[in-house]
A and B are shown apart, each in its own frame.
Chain A
Amino acid sequence: MPHLLGFYLPRQGKLRLQKWYVPLSDKEKKKITRELVQTVLARKPKMCSFLEWRDLKIVYKRYASLYFCCAIEDQDNELITLEIIHRYVELLDKYFGSVCELDIIFNFEKAYFILDEFLLGGEAQETSKKNVLKAIEQADLLQEVRSLATA
């Protein structure tokens, strides 16, 4: 099960989204993030997408300017984790319509909602793209209906 999932810009190393599935103090989280950003940014292209880090495995993939990165446990499957990242990117892409970094910055809360529909507690909850988006759509619809009703 993933311990955390985050993605960030390469040059500034700024975290755009982070999700922790194990309880840690803020201090520890910041330390891990710093270390991880350094480690992953030091990797050259064409290198293997997996690396050992502390007693965890890091699975990462770069999409344009963003790195997506998962920390998993020793017995977890690296390749399927790589596809978890990809599916999440697909979900964002479909929802925002050709997603770009700005979408995630300005609608960060949506990025979190989509993530919660897809992964919960670090485990895949719903892997069907249709079903995840349907849930989000419904919520959006609900919001519009309410907005209309109260307007």
Chain B
Amino acid sequence: MPAVSKGDGMRGLAVFISDIRNCKSKEAEIKRINKELANIRSKFKGDKALDGYSKKKYVCKLLFIFLLGHDIDFGHMEAVNLLSSNKYTEKQIGYLFISVLVNSNSELIRLINNAIKNDLSSRNPTFMCLALHCIANVGSREMAEAFAGEIPRILVAGDTMDSVKQSAALCLLRLYKTSPDLVLMGEWTSRVVHLLNDQHMGVVTAAISLITCLSQKNPDEFKTCVSLAVSRLSRIVSSASTDLQDYTYYFVPAPWLSCKLLRLLQCYPPPEDGAVKGRLVECLETILNKAQEPPKSKKVQHSNAKNAILFEAISLIIHYDSEPNLLVRACNQLGQFLQHRETNLRYLALESMCTLASSEFSHEAVKTHIETVINALKTERDVSVRQRAADLLYAMCDRSNAKQIVAEMLSYLETADYSIREEMVLKVAILAEKYAVDYSWYVDTILNLIRIAGDYVSEEVWYRVIQIVINRDDVQGYAAKTVFEALQAPACHENMVKVGGYILGEFGNLIAGDPRSSPLVQFNLLHSKFHLCSVPTRALLLSAYIKFINLFPETKSTIQEVLRSDSQIRNSDVELQQRAVEYLKLSSIASTDVLATVLEEMPPFPERESSILAKLKKKKGPGAVSVNELEEGKREAGELNGGGERGGDSSAISTPSPSADLLGLRAGHPVTAAAPSAGSLLVDVFSETGFIHYGRLMLLIFLRTHERTITKPVPFLAVPACLSASHTLLSLALRFVCKNNGVLFENQLLQIGIKSEYRQNLGRIYLFYGNKTSVQFVTFTTTLNVQSKPVEPLIEGGAQVQQVINIECLTDFSDAPLLNIKFRYGGALQNLTLKLPVTINKFFQPTEMASHDFFQRWKQLSQPQQEAQKIFKASHAMDTEVLKAKLLGLGMALLENVDPNPENFVCAGVIQSKAQQVGSLLRLEPNAQAQMYRLTVRSSKDTVSKRLCELLAEQF
């Protein structure tokens, strides 16, 4: 064909493009473009009506400018005008502009749709095709609304030209993808399916894309396409290379159509009809056979087209997963490609084999290629190919070859590209765990992993090895010995220090018999790494040290010295400082028994999904792992992780909350769950202090003393002195039902201030112990109910010490925790017991609702036990504003305009506890004349109604 007359006479356009190309700089280009834009704008605005040719030329220039990457904000109207031109090229440029620069301007869309409508009904096939192309390119919802009904008719009409049918099919596909609800095939279904039989190959090629998409969504309606597709495929596969004339591509008959047919069949299970199935199997065999024939051309296009069909056929074979013979043949074919000189083929063979590896029929056959794949991992020059090889090794791994594959992957890791290291590390960790027969191998592998690629070992990986070591007592001694040896290396990765610290802290005693790894040697080894580590690791090491004190009393003085050193106890990092202070006190105050309880060996971790698998899942890496494999891995991981037989144990003891990481090291977990039986309230001990096991402590306590010396004591309040050796001030707590801050207690010596905050089911209480005297308080201790834990034992005269208590509401409760305070003041023992003002209403979440909703819910809570009622005498003045303030302080939403009687108050809220949420409604009816109240509380839990009623009756 001769070269086309350039620009069809649009000389202006050619000149403009040349000018742009001649621009020496970006600035010059912009200048030229702005000049042109100004010119076009003035032409469009000018009085003189432009002829079609000029309009076309300017619209085309605008398009060119847009495609260069500049914004265009005018010219749309002129482009729309071109659509209704009866000159083909003008129309064509108009459509192109609209396709590239659609504008959601509704006025324009209406005009565009009008023009399209005219062209569709013009019966001129070239115009119809232009209109259809435009719809397919824009594919907007507005267009679907306008044309989704019309196009199926065009598609199946007997007198429609082939080229129009082709455009109509793909146009409909595009509309179906944007607005499936608007494209209804209904009565057309069967005729559309029969397009597979059309004589014109182009029509079949276009229609099959539509049919495939529709089949995926409505497989039943379209299932007749299976037999039609098989017979079409059969005809193509058995045709001679010249039969299909122009649809033969480099001696391969209809490669695009063949691939699409094979793709369509993958939407369905194997054909049930024996004859159809037989014919299909024949096709697949023929395709496999052809792969063995000598090529008909040396051109790469020939082999690509041929192999495209082959890979699609293999996909179908894998999809069916029911023909062992074909699966094995497919595998052998891919095996040949593994050593092909074309990189593309090696890549695709590795990728395809990954899916074959998961079929039970071909798994063994895939495994025979292990050496080739390992070789690919070592020698491929393209990282994306090596990545595929690593994926395949992962997929073909089983018990029989795990050691070899893991070893190869480990050695590859030493030189692996940075981009894939993290994923490789995860895969090695998973395989090592999944196929561990003996756990010493597992431990060795993970430690090697940390040695080789420590930077890429995520938290999940080293958490997991610790979980497993804790849960398997047969490997603990070996693990301790191995980490001890690994830590001997002069430069070892910080992750190694973490694992080492944790494991020696737990199981160092198992190797302490050997003088080469005596307690002090172990401690010195760990401590030699301390100063090179980051804060979280140091924090972990401090916890290991306190564990050492429990394991090896002989190390106590050495470790206390370390803890006492300025670099610890005055560390600028608050976490480290706090640990040093707390551990030092713990080790010096607590008795051996208490120490042994608090620092007991960690209990087995509950069975749960491997955190590593979860991470890999999230990554959803290329060829990562199929869902099945993951599930399998999960099962096996569960087994390994302590299994069901230990499940009973773990429910009785503290279980880390699922959101908490296994060491509780991450910040932001102020509260850890306690044993469910331990009571309704929980305050965690040593929150964030690492692997101190505190599950067996009955109830509360925490231990965070931030010593903060306040130079000016809190101003005193004149309160009647009540100083006696011991007294109980339980009722004081009731003052705090409706407020959160204030003075909890005060006498001549001591003032205790309280500040508390609650969010959902969590709370935090700050207690401020102020020494009002000028003499120090010594042996100052506070005890919460059952458990005691020292605060800073000295409070200087005039100073204040702060204590923080973290609280989680597990379920509803009625008894507040008791706080016992003892200290010596000038030799006399002082003893106080206070009720902490923690009441159930603190965990209210206010709920706003309208009158209608309120009464509907009120009625729903009509069972007698859900309601609690009290009638009582007012103990304070019945001031509306005061009542309102109190009710608001209660934490519920005070609902206005709900109760028909404006004197009454109604409130609604939900109590947030870990176990459940308890919705509660309240109604308070004051009777001013009688100075009485009637209080009614309804909630979904009887104990809550009762408790709320009791609490509130004291408040008014």
Chain A residues with a Cβ under 8 A of chain B: 1, 15, 17-18, 23, 30, 46-52, 55, 75, 77-80, 82-84, 86-87, 94-97, 105-110, 112-113, 116, 120-121, 123-131, 133, 135, 137-140, 142-143, 146-147, 150
Contact = CB atoms under 8 A, between A and B. Distances in A.
A139 B347 contact: no
Interface in B8-48: 8-9, 14, 17, 21
Nearest to B203: A126
A48 B206 contact: no
B384 A120 contact: no
Contact of A125 (B4, B170, B177): B170
B344 interface: yes
A140 B255 CA distance: 29
A131 B382 CA distance: 39
A127 B249 contact: yes
Contacts of B167: 120, 125
Contacts of B21: 105
Contacts of A139: 88-89, 92, 126
6 contacts: A50-B348, A77-B263, A97-B3, A124-B205, A127-B257, A140-B4
Interface stretch (B299-307, B358-366, B890-898, B926-934): B299-307
A120 B136 contact: yes
Given A83-B305, A121-B136, A106 B384 contact: no
B139 A109 contact: no
B6 A107 contact: yes
Contact of B246 (A18, A52, A123, A131): A131
Nearest to A126: B202
A86 B67 CA distance: 23
Given A86-B301, A127-B256, A147-B9, 19 more contacts: A15-B69, A17-B67, A46-B382, A95-B4, A112-B100, A116-B133, A120-B133, A123-B170, A124-B205, A125-B202, A127-B201, A127-B202, A131-B163, A131-B246, A137-B1, A142-B88, A142-B126, A143-B8, A143-B89
B308 A77 contact: yes
B6 A47 contact: no
Contact of B384 (A30, A51, A112, A143): A51
A121 B93 contact: no
Contact of A94 (B1, B88, B93, B96): B1
Interface string B63-84: 1100101000000000000000
A105 B17 contact: yes
A97 B308 contact: no
Interface string B239-253: 000000011010000
Interface string B102-126: 0000000000000000000000001
Contacts of B205: 124-127
A128 B201 contact: yes
A106 B206 contact: no
Given A50-B384, A120-B170, A109 B301 contact: no
Contact of A143 (B2, B88, B139): B88
A78 B344 contact: yes
B173 interface: yes
B64 A126 contact: no
B14 to A, nearest CB: 6
Contacts of B87: 143, 146, 150
A52 B384 contact: yes
B744 interface: no
Interface of chain A, helix or strand or loop or mixed?
A: helix
A77 B249 CA distance: 17
B151 to A, nearest CB: 12
Nearest to B166: A125
A128 B126 CA distance: 18
A120 B171 contact: yes
B660 interface: no
A76 to B, nearest CB: 9
Contacts of B14: 106
Nearest to A123: B209
A83 B414 CA distance: 38
Given A95-B1, A128-B246, A50 B347 contact: yes
A79 B384 contact: no
Most buried by B among A75, A78, A96: A78
A48 B178 CA distance: 34
A107 B259 contact: no
Contacts of B3: 96-97
Contacts of B201: 127-128
Given A48-B347, A48-B385, A95-B4, A121 B259 contact: no
A46 B343 contact: yes
Contacts of A87: 249
A126 B139 CA distance: 20
- What are the nearest 5 A-B pairs in CB distance? A79-B308, A121-B174, A80-B308, A123-B209, A120-B170
A51 B348 CA distance: 11
A47 B173 CA distance: 35
Given A121-B170, A126-B202, A83 B344 contact: no
A82 to B, nearest CB: 6
B88 A79 contact: no
Given A48-B344, A78-B348, A131-B202, A109 B249 contact: no
B60 interface: yes
Contacts of A113: 92, 96
B2 A97 contact: yes
B311 A77 contact: yes
A47 B8 CA distance: 41
Contacts of B63: 109
A142 to B, nearest CB: 4
B137 interface: yes
B796 interface: no
A1 B209 contact: yes
Interface string B802-842: 00000000000000000000000000000000000000000
Contacts of A133: 1
A138 to B, nearest CB: 7
B173 A121 contact: yes
Nearest to B262: A77
Interface in B342-372: 343-344, 346-348
Nearest to A146: B87
Contacts of A127: 201-202, 205, 247, 249, 254, 256-257
A97 B3 CA distance: 6
Contacts of A131: 163, 202, 246
A75 B8 CA distance: 42
Contacts of B177: 121
Contact of B139 (A83, A108, A121): A121
